Each structure stands twice: as structure tokens, then as C-alpha cells.
Chain A
């Protein structure tokens, strides 16, 4: 059975801290790994990773995929209160004619205190 596991499930830090969120997966027909940020409403796209070892960066956020270890990390440096959200890891698999069929982890709830 395909699964995606995120850790930790929740995390409380202070502004300025650096955090690392983890995602591991066991998925057949792997296509890519995606990170989303969810605040009040819909998940918003952060990164899509398909190749091992290539870091993707966007401002203070970065992510990397390790296909040998079947895992990914999301780093956030110099955290701000606006980073408080649930971070979702999802793996896209090729399934039933669709390449966007996503398996989600349960998410990591990040709280950044002033």
C-alpha cells in the first residue's frame, strides 16, 4: 500500500529559528514529490521535486529529494510568524491514466512564536 509519512506532526519554534521538516514515502509508479503550504484554506504549491540531489530554493525555503532513501526535507531558515501553517508533503504517482494522483502525508503543523 502506498504511503507518505511526515515528521514531526507538530513543531513550535521562535522567530528566527531554522526548521527542517521530513517526508518519507513508499509509493509505486513514483512521478514526483511535492510540498504544499496550507494556512486557512487551500493548499498552495511550494516545490515539485523529481530528481535526487537537486535543491530547490524559494527565498528562505528550500527542499531536496533523496530517491535512494525515499525521502525529502523542507528547510525554512530565519522563520517568521507568517510561516505558521500546515506543511503537506505529497507524492504524485502514475495511476489509472493520471500523473497527478497524489498521496498525501498527514502534514506538519508549524507554529512560529514571536
Chain B
């Protein structure tokens, strides 16, 4: 079982460049999430999608946009990357009615 798959695993960007982080899940989950993890900060919610066709801001949405392409896929876009967005990004998903989230392997992003 693939579970939650994120691409790419590593990325280095220059300040001002744009990129899209991809996430796909094969568990037929309704809800999907993007988190960032910084040293000493735990995981913080960037955006989430409670169901296909809906997206909402989390705790730290500034500088990001998302697209829920279909039930399986939820992408995170950085339009103009900044050094403050250097972080490890995790995608997660869960079934409707469940609170147990399943995580992807993460994307380590460095903005120089």
C-alpha cells in the first residue's frame, strides 16, 4: 500500500522562485492537510481540505496556495519562495469521521 505519497522529497529553491509540492493518497480519504515542521516548533497546519472541492486556511497560510485537484490529490504552491519557507513539509489525510491522520514521508525544502 502506497498510503500518502509526496513529491519531491528534496528541493532547493532560490528566493522568488515558485514551485508546487504534490501529494496523493490512495486510501479514499476525504480530508487532506498540509503541515510544515520547523525545529522546536512542532507541526503547524498550513491549509486543509475537508472534502473534495473545499479548501481552508490553517494556522500559517501566508505565502502558500493549495488546490484539491480531486479526491486523491492535494497540492501546495509557493508562488514566490522566501527563506522563511525553508522547512519540512508534510501532507496528511484521514477518513471522514476519523481523527487518525496518515502522513506522507515529507518534503525537505530549502530556500536560499
Residues of chain A at the chain B interface (Cβ within 8 Å): 4, 31-32, 34, 41-45, 48, 88, 90, 92, 96-107
Contacts and interface: CB of A to CB of B under 8 A. Distances in A.
Contacts of B33: 100-102
Given A100-B31, A106-B41, 13 more contacts: A31-B99, A42-B105, A43-B43, A97-B51, A97-B54, A98-B50, A99-B96, A99-B97, A102-B33, A102-B43, A103-B45, A104-B43, A105-B42
**Which 5 A-B residue pairings sit nearest by Cβ, starting from the closest?**
A92-B99, A97-B50, A100-B94, A98-B50, A42-B103
Contacts of A96: 48, 50, 56
Contact of A34 (B31, B50, B96, B99): B99
Given A32-B99, A42-B90, A102 B45 contact: yes
A37 B104 CA distance: 14
Nearest to B51: A97
B44 interface: yes
Interface string B1-41: 00000000000000000000000000000010101000011
6 contacts: A43-B103, A44-B103, A48-B99, A102-B43, A102-B99, A104-B44
Contacts of B105: 41-42
Given A41-B106, A96-B56, A107-B42, A102 B50 contact: no
B98 interface: yes
